[in-house]
């Protein structure tokens, strides 16, 4: 951590601050006196140093972090890729993990039929919302517990592990029992009480990036889960909020190589929610594969115009099938999808 002192700060104040920082924390402080600015360099483990406290000092101009504030999710201390195991499958290993299914579970017939379709095309996991976070209280809120039951039937029929979103702590026991991967949605990425409780389970957690979360904040939310003892975290890029209004959100594909560099956790991409437009799913899914994602999460519906939720972003089973074939071609073409960082 670097502390930049205000120009012309009295030496006495600088030395007092140095002493205070060293007393409050397990670090040593190096003073560098520049021409206009004096800078303090903190050496040691600064992840627990409270930058706000230092910034409150009236002679401090600014504080800049050097060390990343996350540890358990940090590739620096865990160089190998994490592979999260889910039943017979896994996310983060050599194979691309494709999760597919409808935005929300609507009926047994619907979810079973879609599950069979996506399995046939190569999906390895089934998604489907039971509890739905909707901007409006007047919109369909999901079948809730009944939705979970239907997902289990679809799993029974197809063997596909199921992924669904949790919205509050009081459902955790139920989800641990029923579900294979628990999804934390973008709106709950910083619902810290939920993250803490999920950290006490051993279930794989699919953590979606908040629409205005930085990559660092996403990793800090992963850290909440991991510091509770659960290291089975899968990250998901699903679009960020920008000024562009044609697409619902802007898919930040550059987040994939960045996360790969900073962290050992697997990262997948959800092109359906990002764009919010079904005909953009195909090109964005392929781009996600090319950029190095460990998997995809794709909304597939057999009857989008009658879907109870997000029909506009759902592709039909045949489009999904075509997409999966194209992705196979890409992967088999043998181009590199692991990017290392040597400028030869």
Report the site for its own copies in 190-229 (rule: CB under 8 A): 190-194, 196, 210-212, 214-217, 220, 223-224, 227
Select the span of 108-116, 118-126, 230-238, 314-322 touching its own copies (CB under 8 A): 314-322
Select the span of 89-97, 175-183, 230-238, 318-326 touching its own copies (CB under 8 A): 318-326
Phi first, then psi, for residue 36 (nearest 5°) are -105, -35
- Contact (CB, 8 A) for 235 and 205: no
Q: Taking the complex as a whole, how short is the minimal distance between the CB of residue 300 and its own copies, in angstroms? A: 11
Query: Binder to its own copies among 23, 36, 80, 94 (CB under 8 A)?
Result: 36
Interface with its own copies, residue 19, by CB under 8 A? no
Q: Taking the complex as a whole, how short is the minimal distance between the CB of residue 34 and its own copies, in angstroms? A: 4
Q: Taking the complex as a whole, how short is the minimal distance between the CB of residue 164 and its own copies, in angstroms? A: 15
Instruction: Please tell me the distance from the alpha carbon of residue 160 to that of residue 179, in angstroms, as a whole number.
Output: 11
Q: Count residues contacting its own copies (CB under 8 A)?
A: 127
If the CB atoms of residues 28 and 85 are measured against its own copies, the closer one turns out to be 28
Interface with its own copies, residue 238, by CB under 8 A? no
Sign (positive or negative) of CA dihedral 260, 263, 267, 271: negative
Interface with its own copies, residue 10, by CB under 8 A? no
Interface with its own copies, residue 280, by CB under 8 A? yes
Contacts of 132-136 spanning 24+ positions with Cβ under 8 A: 132/103, 132/104, 132/165, 132/309, 133/165, 133/167, 133/185, 133/187, 133/188, 134/309
If the CB atoms of residues 98 and 315 are measured against its own copies, the closer one turns out to be 315
If the CB atoms of residues 108 and 326 are measured against its own copies, the closer one turns out to be 326
If the CB atoms of residues 10 and 34 are measured against its own copies, the closer one turns out to be 34
Phi first, then psi, for residue 74 (nearest 5°) are -85, 125
Interface with its own copies, residue 164, by CB under 8 A? no
Provide CB contacts within 8 A for 117, sequence distance 6+.
300, 302, 317, 320, 321
Q: Which of residues 121-150 bind its own copies (CB under 8 A)?
A: 133-140
Give me the residue label for tokens 């002192």. Answer: 5
The three-class DSSP label of residue 105 is coil
Interface with its own copies, residue 257, by CB under 8 A? yes
- Contact (CB, 8 A) for 273 and 239: yes
CA angle 187, 189, 192 (to 5 degrees): 115
Strands 60-64 and 38-44: unpaired
- Contact (CB, 8 A) for 4 and 31: no
Cα dihedral 303/308/309/310 (nearest 10): 30
Q: What's the chain's Rg over C-alpha atoms?
A: 23
Q: Which of residues 85-124 bind its own copies (CB under 8 A)?
A: none
Interface with its own copies, residue 22, by CB under 8 A? no
Interface with its own copies, residue 182, by CB under 8 A? no
Instruction: Please tell me the distance from the alpha carbon of residue 227 to that of residue 71, in angstroms, as a whole number.
Output: 9
Q: Which of residues 37-66 bind its own copies (CB under 8 A)?
A: 37, 39, 41-45, 47-48, 50-53, 55-58, 64, 66
Q: Taking the complex as a whole, how short is the minimal distance between the CB of residue 292 and its own copies, in angstroms? A: 5
Interface with its own copies, residue 246, by CB under 8 A? yes
């Amino acid at each position: 951590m670097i502390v930049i002192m205000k120009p012309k700060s009295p030496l006495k104040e600088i030395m007092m601050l140095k002493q205070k920082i060293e007393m409050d924390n397990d670090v040593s402080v190096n003073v560098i006196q520049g021409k206009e600015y004096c800078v303090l360099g903190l050496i040691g483990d600064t992840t627990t140093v409270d930058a706000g406290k230092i910034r409150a000092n009236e002679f401090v101009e600014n504080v800049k972090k050097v060390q990343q504030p996350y540890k358990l999710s940090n590739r620096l201390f865990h160089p190998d890729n994490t592979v999260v195991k889910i039943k017979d499958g896994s996310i983060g290993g050599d194979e691309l993990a494709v999760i597919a299914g409808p935005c929300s579970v609507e009926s047994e017939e619907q979810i079973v039929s879609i599950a069979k379709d996506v399995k046939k095309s190569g999906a390895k996991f089934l998604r489907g919302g039971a509890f739905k976070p909707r901007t409006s209280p007047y919109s369909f809120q999901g079948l809730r517990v009944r939705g979970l039951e239907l997902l289990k039937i679809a799993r029974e029929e197809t063997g596909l592990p199921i992924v669904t979103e949790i919205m509050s702590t009081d459902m955790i026991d139920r989800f641990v029992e029923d579900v294979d991967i628990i999804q934390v949605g973008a709106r709950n990425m910083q619902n810290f009480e939920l993250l803490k409780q999920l950290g006490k389970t051993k279930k794989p957690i699919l953590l979606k990036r908040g629409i205005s979360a930085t990559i660092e904040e996403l990793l800090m939310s992963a850290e909440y889960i991991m510091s509770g003892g659960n290291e089975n975290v899968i990250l998901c890029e699903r679009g960020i909020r920008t000024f562009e209004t044609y697409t619902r959100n802007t898919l930040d594909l550059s987040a994939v190589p960045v996360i790969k560099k900073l962290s050992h956790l697997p990262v997948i991409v959800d092109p359906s929610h990002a764009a919010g437009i079904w005909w953009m799913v195909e090109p964005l899914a392929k781009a996600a594969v090319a950029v190095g994602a460990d998997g995809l999460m794709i909304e597939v519906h057999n009857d989008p115009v009658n879907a109870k939720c997000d029909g506009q972003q759902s592709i039909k089973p045949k489009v999904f099938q075509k997409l999966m074939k194209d992705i196979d071609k890409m992967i088999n073409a043998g181009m590199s999808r692991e990017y290392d960082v040597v400028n030869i």
